[in-house]
Amino acid sequence: MTTNAYNTSNTIATFNNVVKKYDMDGYAFTAIKNATCTIPKGEITFVYGPSGSGKSTFLNMLGLLDKPSAGEITLLGQNVLAMNDNQAADFRSKHIGFIFQSFNLIPVLSVRENVEFPLLRHPLSRRERKEKAEHYLAAVGLKDYLNRRLNEISGGQRQRVAIARALVTTPTLIIADEPTANLDSTTSDEIIHLMLAMQHQFDTSFVICTHNEKLINKSSRLIHIMDGILTDTGERP
Ligand SMILES: Nc1ncnc2c1ncn2[C@@H]1O[C@H](COP(=O)(O)OP(=O)(O)O)[C@@H](O)[C@H]1O
Ligand SMILES: [Mg+2]
């Protein structure tokens, strides 16, 4: 299948000749070079490349955390570059969930409170927030850990909390930047399998970047990245 075979209805995002340059004391370093790719809806896309290849730079633009230096990005059919900062923040909280390598949870809150946190921006009652959080925590296998503090659970369980937190707002897209880099290999496999299961159960879309080839699911889509050059053949590994 070629990239062109994806039409707008089954596409979440498109990158067209996207360039990202960082200013390094007056010298421009090009971290992403003319990236053109398509992120399909309702599946997991893996972005695979070594450390420093530009994975986080790519994901930050996809997640509206950073803007390209040139090129076009559309997300859910909308031109990302036309959004101001407030519109981008609003779009992010409605449509995008994030999962990070270092979990980025709030230590003073309980497991359930961490998952409720992104719902504070949504018009819901306390009870609705609590019920939603409990629903997604049960889905990731943590229904018996609702009132635990983060220092009372393992790294793998913390990443499960982060997955529930990403799912709780029912986003269209979940972006995971090296979600297993701080976990041992068995737990890493479990977390990837959980994300595959969650993608299926909640029909959301995931983009997961990793430098670990072993984690790439054989039936998922794969985008390679090397020295800022993306290769999206639209094919599976
Ligand atoms: N804010 C920044 N300023 C300057 N250079 C950066 C910045 N962020 C990343 N880079 C550089 O861009 C390249 C790609 O980085 P990154 O996207 O973080 O790669 P990866 O996530 O694949 O490890 C690296 O050479 C990195 O040093
Ligand atoms: Mg990175």
Give the pairing of strands 229-231 and 221-226. Answer: antiparallel
Residues 6+ apart with CB under 8 A from 90: none
11 alpha carbon – ligand 1 mean position (Å): 27
Q: Report yes or no: 179 and 166 within 8 Å, Cβ to Cβ.
A: no
Residue from 170, 225, 175, 221 nearest 10 by CA? 221
- Please give the Cα distance from 158 to 169 (Å, whole number): 18
235 CA to centre of own chain: 20
Residue nearest to atom 25 of ligand 1 (CA): 52
Give strand ranges (E) for the chain. Answer: 11-24, 27-40, 44-48, 70-75, 78-79, 96-100, 173-177, 205-210, 221-226, 229-231
- Please give the Cα distance from 27 to 22 (Å, whole number): 8
pLDDT of residue 88: 95
Taking the CA of 55 as reference, the closest ligand is 1
pLDDT tens, position by position, 97-117:
999 999 999 999 999 999 999
Identify the residue whose tokens are 């790294």. 155
pLDDT tens, position by position, 200-213:
999 999 999 999 99
114 CA to centre of own chain: 17
CA atoms 172, 200, 38, 228: torsion sign = positive
pLDDT of residue 233: 74
49 lines ligand 1 (CB under 6 A): yes
Give, as residue ranges, everything with CB less than 5 Å from ion ligand 2: 55-56
pLDDT of residue 122: 87
Residue nearest to atom 4 of ligand 1 (CA): 22
56 alpha carbon – ligand 2 mean position (Å): 4
pLDDT of residue 168: 97
Atom index in ligand 1 nearest the CA of residue 54 equals 17
103 alpha carbon – ligand 2 mean position (Å): 14
pLDDT of residue 5: 41
Query: What are the beta bridge partners of residue 40?
Result: 11
Taking the CA of 100 as reference, the closest ligand is 2
Taking the CA of 35 as reference, the closest ligand is 1
57 alpha carbon – ligand 1 mean position (Å): 6
**CATH: 1.20.1740.10, 3.40.50.300, 3.40.190.10, 3.90.1200.10. Which one for 40-66+83-231?**
3.40.50.300
Residues 6+ apart with CB under 8 A from 53: 211, 225, 226, 227, 228
Question: What are the per-10-residue average pLDDT scores of the chain (237 residues)?
Answer: 50 97 94 96 95 97 96 95 94 94 93 96 94 98 97 96 97 96 95 96 95 91 96 73
